[in-house]
Amino acid sequence: MIFGGTMNKELLKADIESVLSDKYEVTADKAQPYQLHEALSSAIMKQIAPVWKDSRKAHLATRRACYFSAEFLVGRAIYNNLLCLGVEDDAREVLSSLGAKLSDLEEIEDAALGNGGLGRLAACFLDSAATLSLPLDGYGIRYKYGLFKQSIVDGFQKEEADDWTKYGDPWSRRNESDKVIINFADQSVVAVPYDMPIVAYGTKNIGTLRLWQAEPVNTFDFLKFNAQDYVNASIEQIKAEDISRVLYPNDDTREGKILRFKQQYFFCAASLADIVKKHKAAGYDIEKLYEKVTIQLNDTHPVISIPELIRILVDNEGLSFEKALEIAKKTFNYTNHTVMAEAMEKWGLDIVKEVLPEIYDIILQINEAFVAEMYAKDMPKGKTDYMKMISGGVVHMAKMAVYCSSYTNGVAALHTEILKNDVLKDWYQLFPEKFQNKTNGITPRRWIALCNKELSSLITEQLGDNSWVTDLSRLKTLERLRGDNNMMQRFMDIKQEKKNQLAAYMKAKDGIEVDVNSIFDIQIKRLHEYKRQLLNAFSILYIYFGIKDGSIKNFYQTTFIFGAKSAPGYMRAKAIIKYINEIGRLINADEEVNKLIKVVFVQNYNVSYAEKLVTAADISEQISTAGTEASGTGNMKFMLNGTVTLGTYDGANVEIVQEAGESNNYIFGARVEELEKIMKDYDPRKLISKNPKIKRVLDTLIDGTVSDGGTGDFKELYFALTDGASWHVPDHYYLLGDLESYVEAKLKANSDYANSRLDFARKCWANMCFSGKFSSDRTISDYAKEIWKIEPVQL
Ligand SMILES: *Cc1c(COP(=O)(O)O)cnc(C)c1O
């Protein structure tokens, strides 16, 4: 048996050899990394198959939760699965006996079926649920192309398709018997499930991530399904395969919007068909669906599930609309992930009607049911009109989600408060009992046990065993070691080792050389204006000019590391990437300063890169404008690996500081309550004219200090800050307003590091010790108890 840290090594060896010879006609010592990966992974898949099957049965036999998400940013599976199964050493041994190396699999690329935090959260949640033996399974889309691969060419982002299954996909199992037909007004497609095992750490439960792939309907399907299930296979506006071709197709055009809408419906309808089928096959009453199944909607992308379930219940099961709506309300829950107005998803009714006429009718009925309910409650008509989900020719998905679900949650305490008091205020007043907070978390398996073996060993040594990997709150007992200078020295040595490893990796991968004795100050996350990478760039220039004019002295050498992808059509974000690279070029070439500051931008930031970056940071940059970052999870990864946060009072930073202490972090900038007042009469031009230092930094966008390659993009950034644009006021993310308090905090962190490495290490240590709250095990047990009401399965 493979669990509990022993594996049948002989069998594994034989299976690896046979895959290599049957499939590739090579021996292990001559095999390419992808061939070894295929062989090792499929050998392990074979060994875990019986437990996976038992787990699936156990999940179906009890009340279970289903996590619907358009994104699952799972990253690389192989090392994580070996870790969770406790068989890394066995695998290493077997491979080396065959003349191959486990470390060769470093070349295997990530499954990047997501954009960023939201998708990574979904992956961490599945990991935690599996490890807690909870019956939770994921449902999403098997994109043929994941998030694009990024390279930086002459400072600009270049995108390339990410054909992630090019060399196979040994961790997925295609399941022909669970195929379903999905009907749109103009086409029918087949949804074929590919299942990935979600391996628990140290226990037997294996969850399933079921990703649907769109394929054309063929004769076989025609025979298999009833003819009535099959609307219009011949007319194909969009080719069937296009529906699962790319993550987030460009939705600037109407065709792009339709495709995206089809993607959402495609995976929701397939998942619901599957859930209903399994429910009925087990002999359960369809009217009691909600007793056996609870569905979590990860943001609004899967909210189209609500009218789809109602359609199934009415059309296929013969229930009344009222009954179906009631069942839907008891089945679904909704997680809100953003307060950004532009991310509040709405669909034009014209598109809904054209693509899914039946769903359109049901949405109208849901809207009417809401209006009727408000009327019965004596709600003023004006307010009902303002709140209803259909208005202005669009359907507001978040409104439909709140109305048609049992619980709505935010993802950090501050975010949930903003939902209740601002974004969804009317909804909170109407349904206060529906609102909950579930502060996000990260899985300690991937984000420390796997990526930071050195620190993990130290923790295990000090705690006596490794049970902290599934009980992260145990770390707080290590706080007593803060005063122990020997321990702090060992901790610092580990950080140094991780910095050395990262430096070697950046050199090999990106050709970047860094000084491992400098402070590593790291900002890694999607490129977005609200995340304020541009503010970070400004602060670096501010310090650069300060060093040059002598106003900043004793600056400790620092490497500022950025990693970020910009959405391909997001011009400002791309301009910011170029700007960071250009100031890097300027500073790195300046002999006067380049011993003290280096700016680097790593290419193709993804989960595997994050695993290396979060362990090697001295400073974690979490600098979003207060009130804009719902939670953040990158902040938690750094904290767990013993890093101080340089950040604003935003998202989960607030809770990080609550746990680890303000004195162990560097907090700056205007707070949410302050910004409300400040922004009323904020005039960045006044600020610029009064403050020559800020002006000098800002002017680099237009005075030729750095070049945007003739695109005019830097000028556009400049005017967005000084004059605003048709859709926003000047400097709407308050970069210039926060700049000086940010620089001050940054310099404070810098001098603290320079003054006493030991005391700085104590702060880092405290962050690690108090990071227990941010384990996604905590988040998931809260969801399980307070929203899903599910219990662990026994295997
Ligand atoms: C954790 C993670 C994120 C989220 O980072 P934030 O700083 O919370 O935005 C994004 N991308 C990757 C690859 C991650 O691992």
Nearest CA, atom 8, ligand 1: 632
- Give residue 161 CA to ligand 1 midpoint distance, Å: 20
Closest Cα partner for 620 from 746, 523, 486?
A: 523
Closest atom of ligand 1 relative to the 636 alpha carbon: 8
Residue 1 clears pLDDT 70, i.e. is over it: no
Q: Is the CB of 627 under 6 A from ligand 1?
A: no
Q: What pLDDT, on the 0 to 100 scale, is given for residue 8?
A: 86
Q: What pLDDT, on the 0 to 100 scale, is given for residue 513?
A: 97
| CATH class of domain segment(s) 467-672+734-772 | alpha beta
Q: Is the CB of 120 under 6 A from ligand 1?
A: yes
Could you tell me if residue 404 is left (phi over 0), alpha (psi between -120 and 50 degrees) or otherwise beta? alpha
Closest Cα partner for 536 from 735, 300, 348, 381?
A: 735
- Confidence class for position 735, pLDDT limits 50, 70, 90: very high
How confident is the model over 134-147, as pLDDT tens digits?
999 999 999 999 99
Nearest CA, atom 6, ligand 1: 634
Q: What pLDDT, on the 0 to 100 scale, is given for residue 234?
A: 43
Q: What pLDDT, on the 0 to 100 scale, is given for residue 248?
A: 79
Closest Cα partner for 352 from 313, 314, 394?
A: 394
Q: What pLDDT, on the 0 to 100 scale, is given for residue 7?
A: 77
How confident is the model over 680-695, as pLDDT tens digits?
999 999 999 999 999 9
Closest atom of ligand 1 relative to the 651 alpha carbon: 8
Residue 251 clears pLDDT 70, i.e. is over it: no
Q: Which two tokens stand for residue 79?
A: 């090392």
Share the mean pLDDT of the chain.
Answer: 95
CB atoms within 10 A of CB 480: 11
DSSP letter string, 72-132: EEEE--HHHHHHHHT-HHHHHHHHHHTT--GGGGGGSPPEEESSSHHHHHHHHHHHHHHHT
Q: Is the CB of 607 under 6 A from ligand 1?
A: yes
How confident is the model over 357-406, as pLDDT tens digits?
999 999 999 999 999 999 999 999 999 999 999 999 999 999 999 999 99
- Give residue 63 CA to ligand 1 midpoint distance, Å: 31
DSSP letter string, 550-570: TSS-SPPPEEEEEE----TT-
- Confidence class for position 227, pLDDT limits 50, 70, 90: very low
How confident is the model over 532-561, as pLDDT tens digits?
999 999 999 999 999 999 999 999 999 999
Collect all residues with Cβ–Cβ distance below 8 Å to 329 and sequence separation of at least 6: 403, 404, 405, 406
CATH number of 1-248: 3.40.50.2000
- Best residue for ligand 1 mutational test, from 71, 147, 525, 606 (most atoms within 8 Å of Cβ): 525
Do the beta carbons of residue 233 and residue 188 sit within 8 Å?
A: yes
Phi, psi of 600 (to 5 degrees): -130, 150
Residue with tokens 């307010």, as numbered in its chain: 383
Q: Is the CB of 606 under 6 A from ligand 1?
A: yes
Query: Of the given ranges (216-230, 488-502, 540-554), which has the lowest mean pLDDT?
Result: 216-230
- Confidence class for position 704, pLDDT limits 50, 70, 90: very high
- Give residue 442 CA to ligand 1 midpoint distance, Å: 10
Across the range 28-35, mean pLDDT stands at 97
pLDDT > 70: percent of the chain: 96
How confident is the model over 347-357, as pLDDT tens digits?
999 999 999 99
Closest atom of ligand 1 relative to the 632 alpha carbon: 8
3-state secondary structure of 206: strand
- Best residue for ligand 1 mutational test, from 120, 532, 561, 615 (most atoms within 8 Å of Cβ): 120
Residue 199 clears pLDDT 80, i.e. is over it: yes
In angstroms, rounded to a whole number, what is the distance separating the alpha carbons of residues 439 and 526? Answer: 20
DSSP for residue 624: P
CB atoms within 10 A of CB 279: 18
Q: Is the CB of 651 under 6 A from ligand 1?
A: no
Pair type for strands 72-75 and 111-113: antiparallel
- Confidence class for position 177, pLDDT limits 50, 70, 90: very high
Residues belonging to the chain: 795
Domain ranges of the chain: 1-248, 467-672+734-772
User: Is the alpha carbon torsion for 216, 221, 222, 227 positive or negative?
Assistant: negative
For the purposes of burial, counting CB atoms within 10 Å of the CB of 26, is it exposed (0-12), middle (13-18) or buried (19 or more)? middle
Nearest CA, atom 7, ligand 1: 634
Strands (E) across 501-581 are located at: 519-524, 558-563
Nearest CA, atom 9, ligand 1: 525
Residue with tokens 């996976």, as numbered in its chain: 52
Q: What pLDDT, on the 0 to 100 scale, is given for residue 249?
A: 64
CB atoms within 10 A of CB 432: 9
Closest atom of ligand 1 relative to the 607 alpha carbon: 13
Q: Whole-structure pTM over 0.85, yes or no?
A: yes
Closest atom of ligand 1 relative to the 531 alpha carbon: 9
Closest Cα partner for 584 from 572, 596, 597, 573?
A: 597
Q: Which two tokens stand for residue 207?
A: 């969850």
How confident is the model over 80-95, as pLDDT tens digits?
999 999 999 999 999 9
- Give residue 247 CA to ligand 1 midpoint distance, Å: 17
- Give residue 327 CA to ligand 1 midpoint distance, Å: 35
Q: What pLDDT, on the 0 to 100 scale, is given for residue 615?
A: 98
Closest atom of ligand 1 relative to the 611 alpha carbon: 15
Q: Which residues form the catalytic set?
A: 337, 525-526, 531, 633, 637
- Give residue 198 CA to ligand 1 midpoint distance, Å: 20
Q: How far is CA 363 from CA 158, 393, 394, 395, 594, in A?
A: 41, 12, 11, 8, 60
Do the beta carbons of residue 627 and residue 675 sit within 8 Å?
A: yes
- Best residue for ligand 1 mutational test, from 71, 73, 110 (most atoms within 8 Å of Cβ): 73
Q: Is the CB of 444 under 6 A from ligand 1?
A: no
Do the beta carbons of residue 238 and residue 215 sit within 8 Å?
A: no
- Give residue 633 CA to ligand 1 midpoint distance, Å: 6
In angstroms, rounded to a whole number, what is the distance separating the alpha carbons of residues 573 and 716? Answer: 11
Collect all residues with Cβ–Cβ distance below 8 Å to 374 and sequence separation of at least 6: 383, 384, 387, 388
Closest Cα partner for 264 from 234, 310, 307?
A: 307
For the purposes of burial, counting CB atoms within 10 Å of the CB of 287, is it exposed (0-12), middle (13-18) or buried (19 or more)? middle
Q: Do domains 1-248 and 467-672+734-772 have the same CATH topology?
A: yes
Q: Which two tokens stand for residue 40?
A: 């090792």
- Give residue 744 CA to ligand 1 midpoint distance, Å: 26
Q: Which two tokens stand for residue 541?
A: 């220039």
Q: Is the CB of 335 under 6 A from ligand 1?
A: no
Do the beta carbons of residue 193 and residue 270 sit within 8 Å?
A: yes
Residue 233 clears pLDDT 50, i.e. is over it: no
Q: Is the CB of 525 under 6 A from ligand 1?
A: yes
Q: Is the CB of 116 under 6 A from ligand 1?
A: yes
- Give residue 214 CA to ligand 1 midpoint distance, Å: 28
In angstroms, rounded to a whole number, what is the distance separating the alpha carbons of residues 336 and 399? Answer: 11
Do the beta carbons of residue 612 and residue 587 sit within 8 Å?
A: no
- Confidence class for position 344, pLDDT limits 50, 70, 90: confident
Do the beta carbons of residue 571 and residue 579 sit within 8 Å?
A: no
Helix axes 78-85, 88-97, angle to 10 degrees: 120
Q: Is the CB of 146 under 6 A from ligand 1?
A: no
Do the beta carbons of residue 528 and residue 488 sit within 8 Å?
A: no
Closest Cα partner for 343 from 396, 401, 296?
A: 396
CB atoms within 10 A of CB 234: 7
How confident is the model over 300-338, as pLDDT tens digits?
999 999 999 999 999 999 999 999 999 999 999 999 999
DSSP helix, strand, coil percent of the chain (3-state; round to 5) = 55, 15, 30
Q: Is the CB of 632 under 6 A from ligand 1?
A: yes
- Give residue 324 CA to ligand 1 midpoint distance, Å: 38
Query: Of the given ranges (178-187, 215-224, 765-774), which has the lowest mean pLDDT?
Result: 215-224
